[in-house]
Structure 1
């Protein structure tokens, strides 16, 4: 299913949740909508699902207008599946019954699935690794198993579009990693388009074909995970996705001179126009090269150290500025150090 969102805005009373959103999602594409709480990502997902009607603009699915002025096609007629943050399992149904329910009740379920219900249930159980749990009730399942059931239920009627609203946020860190792989496998197996709402940068970067970064109801930047992470176009994207330090200084064409550096310059051909026009250089924590004081660079003092196994996370104070730095090199609290741009980090970000 291909999706076109054209000039969609949404207001709740005097509050403008979405501002003129334009977005196209290709058939089979995995799109992550990334942003902080209140940025409008869930509102956009609810409009795609048919739970909300846009205040202006329209949504087309396979060239059919499903939401717009005077038009709102209900969710059950959109061939969509949805996975919620809360799992939303029914306590009186076992795993197989959860999978059977949408096959029987969704009006858009293809006839070849309805006519082979038993085979489809078994196929989905196998695909989601739930065959041995088919007769279990929700209270007998772990958090990860419940999330698999929620995903299995969503894909059972073979939707053309799978909508996921922060589905992993209630799981612990190790389980989230496992479930990322599960969701990727489901996407490969089904071929459905996926719209995945999250505030977790790691999830979006790991799974999506394309990331839509939102802020205050607007699209801040859209691109591949590599483009978003390595080449942010705005200060918000640099800080929110890449966790970048914004170094102030002066640009001379594609060469940057940090204000607090002692006669140093950094190459920056690929740094975005926004940063050049504002005298900034975004440096991810892992891009900084940490050296003992006396070396050329930005001088500072280590004010906090966190050991993370293969690397150290440092907070470094330089006059009134604090930098976040990730380095494999061991330094101690209160050490005087020098910061430069790592030669292996490439030009810009």
Structure 2
């Protein structure tokens, strides 16, 4: 199923929450929607689910207009942040429930629901807990059940609303892998709303970056990270140093050291027009070349296992620099850094 949003707008009273969203979700695609709180990403998810109707624009699923179609008549499933498991049902009953009530369940699944339930529980490594109740499960296990339940009717589109945000760091990493695995195995389209840019970069085929009710950029994780189109995207998805300076085609000279020239071939026109250059922390490295380095003083050092994170000052401009753990620079040390 191909899902299309065409100039979707949504207002609550005088507040415009979505300001013209154009987006296509291909069959089997994993799309992550990221953005700061209040940017409209959850409202967009609710419109896809049918919990909200757009004020204007069109929502199409396989060319059928869905603006006023209620949730139960859409070929979708949802995974919530809060798990939303029924306390009186065993794990296997939770997963079996959509097979009885989802409108688009195939006849094969209806005839052999136990086979489908076992397939889903096995996919989420939960078969041994089939007879447990929710209160007997950990947070990670509850979310695995919620994902198995969403998958069981084989929907064309799965909507996930920050499904890992309530889990600890180790569990989030484990479930990232599980979600990626089931996406590859079952090839269902997933729309995944998250405030965690790391999750989006690690898991998605396509990332949608939203800000103030609009889409700032759509692209692959690599495109979003290495070639941001706006200062907002550069700063929001992975920290970026935004240096002021001047551009001459693809050559950038930072205002901090006008005699220095760096070559960047794929920087967006919006940065050049603003006199800015986005530099990822790992792009800045110590150098002995006066023609390619700016002088900084190290203000702070953070050890992060495989890498070191340095906060540095160049005149009054604060920069973040990341290097491998073998590079050791002391607080107060002055050095040249370049690209």
TM-score interval, normalised by the smaller of the two chains: over 0.9
Given the superposition, is the C-alpha separation of residues 292 and 313 from structure 1 closer, same or farther in structure 2, using an over 3 Å criterion? farther
- Structure 2 counterparts to residues 27-66 of structure 1, below 5 A: 27-66=27-66
Q: Note if contact 1:76-1:108 (Cα within 8 Å) is conserved in structure 2.
A: no
Offset of 1:108 from its aligned partner? 2.3
2:26 alignment counterpart: 26
Change (3 A) 1:144 1:164: same
Aligned length: 337
- The secondary structure found in structure 2 opposite 1:101 is helix
- For structure 2, list consecutive stretches of 5 or more residues without a partner in the other structure: none
Does the CA contact (< 8 Å) of 2:296 and 2:312 recur in 1? yes
Name the residue aligned to 1:160. Answer: 156
Residue 333 of structure 1: aligned partner:
331
1:295: Cα distance to partner?
A: 8.4
What is the aligned partner in structure 2 of residue 16 from structure 1?
16
Provide the residue aligned with 1:237 in structure 2: 233
Residue 118 of structure 1: aligned partner: 114
Does the 8 Å CA contact 2:19/2:213 hold for their aligned counterparts?
yes
Secondary structure, in 3 states, of the residue corresponding to 2:176? Answer: helix
Cα distance, 1:296–1:120 mapped onto 2, change above 3 Å: closer
Shift, 1:280, TM fit: 1.1
Aligned to 2:272: 276
Cα deviation, residue 150, structure 1 = 0.5
2:304 pairs with 1:308: yes
Q: Give the distance between the partners of 1:326 and 1:84, measured in 2 at CA.
A: 35
Instruction: Give the alignment's TM-score, normalised by structure 2.
Output: 0.96
Asked if 2 retains the 8 angstrom alpha-carbon contact of 1:306 and 1:314, the reply is yes
2:129 is the counterpart of 1:141: no
Counterpart Cα distance in 1 of 2:202 and 2:191: 14
Q: CA deviation at 1:263?
A: 2.3
- The CA deviation at 1:167 is 0.4
Return the alpha-carbon distance in structure 1 between the equivalents of residues 117 and 181 of structure 2. Answer: 18
Query: C-alpha distance in 2, partners of 1:93/1:111?
Result: 24
TM-score (norm 1): 0.94
CA RMSD of aligned residues (A): 1.4
| Offset at residue 261 of structure 1 (A) | 1.9
Conservation of the 8 A alpha-carbon contact between 2:261 and 2:292 = no
Contact in 2 for aligned 1:246/1:281 (Cα 8 Å): yes
1:122-164 residue CA offsets vs partner (Å, 9 max, x unmatched) = 1111111110000011111111111100100111111110000
Which SS does the other structure have where 2:282 is aligned?
coil
Helix, strand or coil for the counterpart of 1:286?
Answer: helix
- Residue 262 of structure 1, CA deviation: 6.0
Residues 281 and 322, structure 2, Cα contact 8 Å, conserved in 1: yes
Q: Are 2:250 and 1:254 equivalent residues in the alignment?
A: yes
- Structure 1 residue ranges (4+ consecutive) displaced by more than 2 angstroms after TM superposition: 290-296
